[in-house]
């Protein structure tokens, strides 16, 4: 295992950052958790587990310099849906450049699965450009994680209201398989690429935990919720009215889709994949 120092985790109170911070803390690593709200409940929960809290804003370079000072490693995540496609790209490139200037030894950037495949999806393409910046900066070591669709999205405003009414409403074909991942698995992979920094230096890892069509997913979720759920195909044009970017992604899922080889990735890294049934049995009861 690579000997690590302080690891700065951005987005530490969010889905990915929070999962990585918890996994690192469970492994005995020194975690510096960056958040805009260090007084918030989620931040206090991390502090109770041993994290050092630091206030930081991805649009405030001075706060980032302070957060990065003395860090051995970095887990970097940005959010398209908060910052916008252009804003996320600016944040990602700026933060990587500041981290290199600060002397960070190991930089882990979380991108999106298939970012390298010329998808034409704006919030995939911008992450690919951030990846290119990370590679060009010549960190002593780096790794890129590329997770697929989050199972946790099913708890969010796009899906949960429909689930509560007995419908899994998604603008996908019934025969389209969708690869998914639980954020706790992202946490496990995040910890892994810090502990195995030398072995995975320069690697890009597309990661997933399960693959189901929407009718299959509806059955699994219904079993967990102890109710009858049916797949209800949503009109893609209605999705497009809310977000052209999101609609493009769904159309790409139907046309091409993610291509993670789940079993071989799990075997290579020794991380058992969380299946949707297991995830749902804990979180959707």
- Residue 75 has phi, psi (to 5 degrees) of -110, 115
Q: What is the pLDDT of residue 3?
A: 77
> Which H or E run includes 132?
helix 122-136
- State how far the Cα of 257 lies from the Cα of 249, in Å rounded to an integer: 9
DSSP-assigned beta bridge partners for residue 35: 55
- State how far the Cα of 104 lies from the Cα of 74, in Å rounded to an integer: 7
- State how far the Cα of 170 lies from the Cα of 250, in Å rounded to an integer: 9
- Tokens describing residue 15: 């889905």
Three-state DSSP at 248 gives helix
Burial class of residue 52, CB neighbours in 10 A (0-12, 13-18, 19+):
middle
| Rg of the chain on CA atoms, in Å | 19
Q: What is the pLDDT of residue 166?
A: 95
Nearest to 209 by CA among 238, 234, 227, 186: 186
CA-to-CA dists, residue 31 to 45, 81, 147, 187, 196, angstroms: 13, 26, 22, 13, 17
What CATH topology corresponds to 7-150+181-209+259-274? Answer: Rossmann fold (3.40.50)
Q: What is the pLDDT of residue 285?
A: 59
- Tokens describing residue 201: 């230096």
Nearest to 190 by CA among 223, 150, 222, 144: 144
pLDDT tens by residue, the chain, 285 residues:
777 899 999 999 999 999 999 999 999 999 999 999 999 999 999 999 999 999 999 999 999 999 999 999 999 999 998 889 999 999 999 999 999 999 999 999 999 999 999 999 999 999 999 999 999 999 999 999 999 999 999 998 889 899 999 999 999 999 999 999 999 999 999 999 999 999 999 999 999 999 999 999 999 999 999 999 999 999 999 999 999 999 999 999 999 999 999 999 999 999 999 999 999 998 765
- Tokens describing residue 21: 């911070």
Instruction: Yes or no: say if 135 and 100 are a contact pair by the CB < 8 Å rule.
Output: no
């Amino acid at each position: 295992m690579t000997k690590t120092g302080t690891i700065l985790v951005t987005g530490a109170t969010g889905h990915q950052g929070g999962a990585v911070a918890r996994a690192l803390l469970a492994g005995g690593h020194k975690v510096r958790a960056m958040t805009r709200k260090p007084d918030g409940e989620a931040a206090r929960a991390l502090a109770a587990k041993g994290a050092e809290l630091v206030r930081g804003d991805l649009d405030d370079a001075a706060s980032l310099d302070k957060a990065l000072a003395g860090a051995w490693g970095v887990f970097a995540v940005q959010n398209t849906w908060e910052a916008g496609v252009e804003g996320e790209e600016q944040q990602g490139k700026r933060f990587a450049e500041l981290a290199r200037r600060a002397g960070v030894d190991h930089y882990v950037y979380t991108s999106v699965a298939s970012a390298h495949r010329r998808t034409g999806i704006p919030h995939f393409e911008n992450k690919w450009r951030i990846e290119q910046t990370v590679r060009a900066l010549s960190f002593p070591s780096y790794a890129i994680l590329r997770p697929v669709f989050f199972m946790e999205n099913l708890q969010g405003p796009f899906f949960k209201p429909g689930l509560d009414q007995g419908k899994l409403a998604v603008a996908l074909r019934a025969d389209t398989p969708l690869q998914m991942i639980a954020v706790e698995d992202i946490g496990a992979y995040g910890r892994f690429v810090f502990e195995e920094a030398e072995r995975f230096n320069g690697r890009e890892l597309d990661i997933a935990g399960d693959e189901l069509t929407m009718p299959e997913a509806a059955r699994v979720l219904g079993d967990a919720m102890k109710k009858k759920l049916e797949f209800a195909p949503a009109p893609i044009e209605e999705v497009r009215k809310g977000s052209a970017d999101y609609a493009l992604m769904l159309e790409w899922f139907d046309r091409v889709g993610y291509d993670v080889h789940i079993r071989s990735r799990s075997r290579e890294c020794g991380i058992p994949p969380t299946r949707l049934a297991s995830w749902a049995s804990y979180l959707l009861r």
